[in-house]
Structure 1
Amino acid sequence: MAVIPLPANYDDLVLSLNDTGLNHDIISLLAAQARPAILLRTTQSEEDLISLGASKIGGRPDLPRGAAWPIRPAYPDADKRAARHRKEAARLLADSIKPHSRMTPEQAQRFSLARRARADAVETEFPLAFFGQFDLSELSREKGFDATFPSDGRLLLFYDLLEQPEEFSPEASVGWRMLWDTTPVSALVRAPIPDALSSISDDDWSCVFRAAQVSTETVLTPIPPNDKSWNAFPLDDDYALEEYQEWLSQFGTPDMSGRDNHQFGGFPQTLQNGLQARCQLAANGLNCGGLDVWKTEAAKELLKSAKDWRLVLQIGVDRHAGISQPGAYYVTMREQDIAARRFDRARVTYQCD
C-alpha cells in the first residue's frame, strides 16, 4: 500500500481532515490536539564521514573518552527466561525429526543453538545493542522540537536486541538504556563494537546495525485513538472511528518500507494498543502480561496517570541501517521525568503485528 507523508503544518492537517466525513467540530479538536514531531530521515553513509556526536541510526556510539559500552546485568528473572529458551531449543530439535517437518535437522540445529545462546546470555552480563544517537542541539533548531527536552548534549539508545525484553515486565527494564550525555564533542571517542555482539551476528541476523546518517524534518502527528488523552469523540461512535482510522492508515506504520519510520517526539504510530498503560504498570512494579492484574485496585489507580507517558523516540524498519526485523521500537517517558532529565526512567516497547 502506498503511503503519504505526515502533514507538514496545521493548514495541511486541516485540509487533509476535511476530506473525511468527520464534522467540523471534531476536525477542529483533532487538529488542535496534533503534536509536532521531528522525522529522522536516514541515508546510507560511511561512518567515518559522520561527525563525532552527530545524529545517526546504528553504527558505533560516540562515548566520553574512557566510558564503557553499556552492559546490562543478568536479568532478575534469568532462571525463568533461560528455562524457556532451553525448552524451545529442545522442541525445535524434536520437531525437526518428525514426519513432514518444515525444518531440516540442519535448520533446527542452527535455531536451537541460537536459543541456547539466548539462554546463556540472560544469565550473565551482556552488552546492549546500539540503536542510535541524537544530537539535541541540532534537533532543537527544528520548529517541531519540544522544549520539554534539553537542547544540549545527545540522547543515546541501547537495547538488548538478542532478548527483546517484553515491555510488560518490571524485570525487563535492565534490557535497555537511554543515556543523556553532555560531554563536549572534543572529548568523545567512537567506541568499538564488543566482541560479544559481533560474534553472534551473521548475514541473516545481526545485533550490529550499519551507520545511517540522519536529516530532520518537522511534521504534525495526529493523535491516535488509543492515546490516553483522547477526547475528540466517543470511541463507541463506530462511524467516526472508522472514518478517522481509515484516514490515519494513509500515513502507514513504522514497520513499512517506503516511508520515514524514525521519529523524535510527537504521537507514535503504534502497531498495538496499550503502550502508555503497560509502561505505567510495569514502571510501578506490576507485571501486566496477564489479565488479572488489570482488575486490581492498584492497577486501576495507577492507570489514572497513564496519560503522562509520551513518546521520546520511535525506531522502525530501516534499509540503510539494516534494521530489518519486523515491527518497531518505542521509547517512552513520563512528562515529569523528561522535565527532570531522568532519562534512566525511559522504557522501550517492541511491537510487532
Structure 2
Amino acid sequence: MNKFDLKEKFTELKIGSCYNIIEPTLKNAIRVKLNQVSENKIDIGQSKIGGKPDLPLNQKWFTETNIEIIQEKKLFFLNKKSEKEITKSLSFLAQINLSEIKNYDTENLLPQSGMLYFFYSSAQSAWGFDFKDINKFKVFFYDEDLNNLRRNEFPENLEEDGKFKSCELKFESEISLPSCDSEIYERLKEEEMDLIFEEILNEETVNKLLGHPDIIQNEMELECELVTNGIYCGDASGYNNPKAKELEKNAKDWQLLFQIDTNEEAEMMWGDCGRIYFWIKKEDLKNKNFENCWMILQCY
C-alpha cells in the first residue's frame, strides 16, 4: 500500500482527518512475500527465506558457543561439577540479495549490492533482553563477487526443527504505519483508533525490511539501546537503572532492519506465533556496518 492508497483507505473509513495527523510519522518499507519452492528452483545468490544458505567460499556456517554445567557422579556420594564449552550451529533464516530490492528501497537506506544474511539460535533460546545473547544470532553482510557463493549443506549438529523450508521471495514497496503503542494514536478518538487497528493494522503475517515494526509486546528501540550497553532488560530493573535515563535519548538512533514473522510457508514458528526483529543503528546502516545489529523475539 502506497501513500495514495493509504490516504484513500482513511477517506473510505471516514477518518480522513486522522491521515493528516499520522502522515508525518509514516515510513517507507519493503514488504517480503514468500512462496515455498524446492531448493533447486532457487538460483545460487537469489534472495530466499529458509532452505540452505549460499555462503562465500571461505565462510563457515555461523555458530553459537555456550558454557554448560556438567554434573559427574563420583562413586555413591560425591558429585563433581565441571564446565563444558558447547558449540552449536545457528539456524539459517534468510539471505537478501540487495540488488534485487534496490528499486523498492525508495530512500536508498540499504546498500545497492551485496548479500545480507540472517541467522538465529536453533533452540530459540535468545529473546534479546540480555547482552549474553550476542552470539545467538548473526547478521552478515557480504559485498564481494556473488559468483564466489556456494550452497551449503545443513551441518550435522543442526536439529531438524532448526531447518526451514526454502521459499523464494517477492518484494513490494509499501508505507508503514507506527505500531499500536505509538503516542501518535493518543491524538485520535477511541473509535478512530479502533478502525485503524481493525481495518489497516490487522495483518497476521508481515515480513519486511525497514519501516516501523509490527510489535507484539512493546516498543523495542530503548531495549536495543539499553541491552547493547550491557543493561539487562528481562525485568523492570533495566528500565529503572540509573543509566537508562541517560541512554533513553539514543533510542531514536535505532532502525528496524528486518522483521521475519512466523511463516507457514517456511514452516518456521517463533515462540507462540511470534516475530523476530533485527535492529540496526541508523549511522551503522549508513556506513554499511552490520556487525552491531541487535535481535529481539516477541510472541503472544
TM over 0.5: yes
Aligned counterparts, 1:5-154, within 5 A: 8-19=1-12, 22=15, 24=17, 26-74=18-66, 123-142=85-104, 144-154=105-115
Q: Distance in 2 between matches of 1:172 and 1:253?
A: 31
Cα displacement (A) at 1:315? 0.5
SS in 1 for 2:95: strand
Q: Distance in 2 between matches of 1:241 and 1:154?
A: 44
Which residue of structure 1 aligns with residue 163 of structure 2? 208
The TM-score, its normalising length taken from structure 2, stands at: 0.87
Q: How many percent of aligned residue pairs carry the same amino acid? A: 24
Q: What is the total number of aligned residue pairs between the two structures?
A: 286
Look up the equivalent residue of 1:176 and give its one-letter code: F
Q: Distance in 2 between matches of 1:279 and 1:243?
A: 31
Q: Which moved more, 1:40-49 or 1:11-20?
A: 11-20
* 2:226–2:238 contact (8 Å) kept in structure 1: no
Matched, 1:240 2:200: no
* 1:253–1:271 contact (8 Å) kept in structure 2: no
Cα displacement (A) at 1:129? 0.3
SS in 2 for 1:124: strand
Are residues 161 and 245 of structure 1, via their aligned partners in 2, closer, same or farther at CA, if it must alter by over 3 Å?
farther
Q: Distance in 1 between matches of 2:220 and 2:195?
A: 21
Look up the equivalent residue of 2:35 and give its one-letter code: T
Which residue of structure 1 aligns with residue 78 of structure 2? none
Greater share of helix residues, 1 or 2?
A: 1
Look up the equivalent residue of 1:317 and give its one-letter code: T
Which residue of structure 1 aligns with residue 130 of structure 2? 169
SS in 1 for 2:297: strand
Look up the equivalent residue of 2:94 and give its one-letter code: G
For 1:184, which of 145, 149, 154 is the aligned residue?
Answer: 145
Q: Distance in 2 between matches of 1:300 and 1:241?
A: 31
For 1:273, which of 218, 222, 237 is the aligned residue?
Answer: 218
Matched, 1:299 2:244: yes
SS in 2 for 1:164: coil
Greater share of strand residues, 1 or 2?
A: 2
Q: Deviations over 1:161-180 (max 9, x none)?
A: 30430211011111000000
Cα displacement (A) at 1:241? 5.3
Name structure 1 gaps, 5 residues minimum.
Answer: 1-7, 84-121
Q: Distance in 1 between matches of 2:152 and 2:106?
A: 28
Cα displacement (A) at 1:277? 1.5
Are residues 269 and 136 of structure 1, via their aligned partners in 2, closer, same or farther at CA, if it must alter by over 3 Å?
same
SS in 2 for 1:125: strand
Q: Distance in 1 between matches of 2:189 and 2:256?
A: 25
Q: Distance in 1 between matches of 2:140 and 2:146?
A: 15
Matched, 1:220 2:212: no
Which residue of structure 1 aligns with residue 255 of structure 2? 310
Q: Distance in 1 between matches of 2:234 and 2:219?
A: 11
Aligned-residue RMSD, C-alpha: 2.3
Q: Distance in 1 between matches of 2:45 and 2:56?
A: 10
Are residues 226 and 337 of structure 1, via their aligned partners in 2, closer, same or farther at CA, if it must alter by over 3 Å?
farther
Q: Distance in 2 between matches of 1:194 and 1:348?
A: 23
